């Protein structure tokens, strides 16, 4: 792994934990001071120039990543792709993009105005991927986006940065199952996303996933400050598709529920 790539992931992580202080606590609780290996990092964007998925992905292609899977989320009006690197120490990359034209004219207008404020030159720099938001937005526009798409509202509030990192549970020495990981997290006081059950997927689809509910952080809107859900941590356990060969893809039905980890309105076990 080149020093540049290593520095990129370090900067990405440092930006992420500023908004997600519980991520550092997750490392402490699960790793007990040992290094945690990440399975993947996820990014979100809009399907509008100059920030389309394909454009953001170029930074990973330049680092040696290859496109490996395509996913569609009809109800959330999103598509996604994942990318893998030959170096097993590097996390997979999951990038989704919102199909903006499928929303109301009001949402399309707000999003177009946000995207228009981005300097296309800035997108060409790898640092763009942890540069946050490039615009001002009012709390009322945020609320309007929230009514149609929690994803659009999250993007408007946080911009470009890691949405989540994901612990590679297969590489955690002290844990046999994702259930044990979840139990440890709950005992330590974390709230898990229980939309579709705490564990999404199964050995039948070669992937089990769980996630915390996003931390809450104060965000400065143009008219006021509001405390809203920021980023979360995910946990993934992969199963063999052949002897000594773990599944490397994602599972759309599970991912569909993981997206809800930033949704304050999504059901959690504590609420139900
Ligand atoms: C991505 C949700 C999907 C996964 O691992 O299936 C996902 C997001 O919330 O942006 O991360
Ligand atoms: Ni994920």
Domains of the chain: 3-262 (3.10.180.50)
pLDDT of residue 269: 43
pLDDT of residue 18: 97
47: which 2 tokens? Answer: 């399907």
| Nearest alpha-carbon partner for 154 in 260, 54, 70 | 260
pLDDT of residue 201: 98
pLDDT of residue 33: 86
Q: Which residues line ligand 1 (CB under 6 A)?
A: 42, 44, 94, 96, 163, 209, 234, 250, 254-255, 258-259
pLDDT of residue 271: 43
pLDDT of residue 272: 36
pLDDT of residue 267: 52
Measured in angstroms, how far is the CA atom of residue 173 from the centroid of ligand 1?
24
pLDDT of residue 266: 74
Distances, alpha carbon 210 to alpha carbons 118, 163, 166, 186, in Å: 34, 15, 9, 12
The backbone torsions φ and ψ at residue 45, rounded to the nearest 5 degrees and listed phi first, read -160, 180
Mean pLDDT by 10 residues, the chain (272 residues): 95 97 96 94 98 98 98 97 96 98 98 98 98 98 98 98 98 96 98 97 98 97 98 98 98 97 73 40
**The total number of residues written for the chain in this structure:** 272
Measured in angstroms, how far is the CA atom of residue 223 from the centroid of ligand 1?
31
List the residue whose alpha carbon is closest to atom 5 of ligand 1: 255
What is the position in ligand 1's atom list of the atom closest to the CA of 258?
2
pLDDT of residue 231: 98
């Amino acid at each position: 792994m080149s020093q540049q790539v290593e520095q990129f992931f370090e900067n990405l992580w440092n930006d992420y934990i500023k908004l997600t202080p519980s991520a550092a606590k997750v490392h402490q609780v699960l790793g007990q001071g040992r290094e945690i290996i990440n399975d993947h990092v996820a990014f979100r964007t809009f399907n509008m120039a100059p920030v389309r998925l394909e454009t953001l992905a170029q930074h990973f292609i330049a680092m040696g990543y290859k496109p490996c899977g395509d996913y569609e989320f009809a109800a959330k009006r999103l598509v996604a792709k994942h990318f893998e690197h030959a170096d097993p120490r590097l996390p997979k990359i999951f990038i989704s993009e919102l199909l903006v034209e499928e929303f109301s004219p009001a949402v399309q207008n707000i999003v177009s105005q946000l995207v228009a404020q981005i300097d296309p030159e800035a997108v060409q720099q790898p640092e763009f991927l942890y540069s946050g938001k490039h615009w001002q937005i009012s709390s009322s526009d945020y609320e309007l986006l929230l009514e149609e798409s929690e994803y659009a509202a999250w993007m408007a509030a946080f911009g470009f940065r890691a949405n989540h990192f994901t612990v590679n549970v297969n590489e955690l020495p002290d844990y046999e199952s994702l259930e044990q990981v979840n139990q440890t997290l709950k005992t330590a006081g974390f709230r898990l996303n229980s939309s579709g059950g705490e564990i999404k997927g199964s050995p039948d689809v070669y992937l089990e996933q769980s996630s915390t509910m996003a931390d809450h952080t104060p965000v400065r809107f143009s008219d006021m400050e509001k405390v809203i859900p920021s980023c979360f941590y995910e946990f993934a356990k992969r199963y063999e598709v052949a002897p000594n060969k773990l599944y490397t893809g994602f599972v759309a039905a599970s991912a569909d529920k993981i997206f809800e980890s930033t949704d304050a309105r999504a059901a959690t076990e504590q609420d139900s």
